[in-house]
Amino acid sequence: MSNLTPAATRAMLASSQGIEMGGEMADKKYNAPERRSFPTGTVIFREGDVGHEAYMLQQGTVRIFKTVAGKRVTIGRIWPFQVFGELSMMDDEPRMAGAVVDDDATCLVLEKDSIRAMMEQAPPGLNTLVQSLLSTIRAMGKDLADAKATLLEHGIDG
- Taking only the tens place, the pLDDT of each residue in 44-67 is 999 999 999 999 999 999 999 999
User: How open is the CA angle 29-52-135, to the nearest 5 degrees?
Assistant: 115
**Distance of alpha carbon 75 from alpha carbon 93, whole angstroms:** 19
Task: Classify residue 118: in a domain, yes or no.
Answer: yes
**Distance of alpha carbon 82 from alpha carbon 90, whole angstroms:** 17
Please say if the pLDDT value at position 39 is more than 90. Answer: yes
Closest CA to 38 of 83, 110, 112, 99: 99
- Taking only the tens place, the pLDDT of each residue in 75-100 is 999 999 999 999 999 898 999 999 99
Phi, psi of 114 (to 5 degrees): -65, -45
Task: Classify residue 17: in a domain, yes or no.
Answer: no
Average pLDDT of span 110-120: 89
Task: Classify residue 28: in a domain, yes or no.
Answer: no
Structural domains of the chain, count? 1
**Distance of alpha carbon 65 from alpha carbon 20, whole angstroms:** 36
Give the pLDDT confidence score for residue 144 in this predicted structure: 95
Task: Classify residue 21: in a domain, yes or no.
Answer: no
pTM of the predicted model as reported, rounded to 2 decimal places: 0.77
Average pLDDT of span 96-116: 95
Helices 6-17 and 112-120: crossing angle in degrees, nearest 10, is: 110
Name the residue range of residue 51's domain.
2-6+34-153
**Distance of alpha carbon 57 from alpha carbon 12, whole angstroms:** 13
Q: Which CATH number covers residue 81?
A: 2.60.120.10
* Percentage of residues of the chain with pLDDT beyond 90: 65
Task: Classify residue 115: in a domain, yes or no.
Answer: yes
Task: Classify residue 139: in a domain, yes or no.
Answer: yes
Task: Classify residue 60: in a domain, yes or no.
Answer: yes
**Distance of alpha carbon 110 from alpha carbon 55, whole angstroms:** 6
Task: Classify residue 103: in a domain, yes or no.
Answer: yes
Res. 26 pLDDT band, cuts 50 70 90 = very low
Sign of the alpha-carbon dihedral angle for 133, 80, 36, 145? positive
For 71, the 3-state DSSP assignment is strand
Give the pLDDT confidence score for residue 24 in this predicted structure: 47
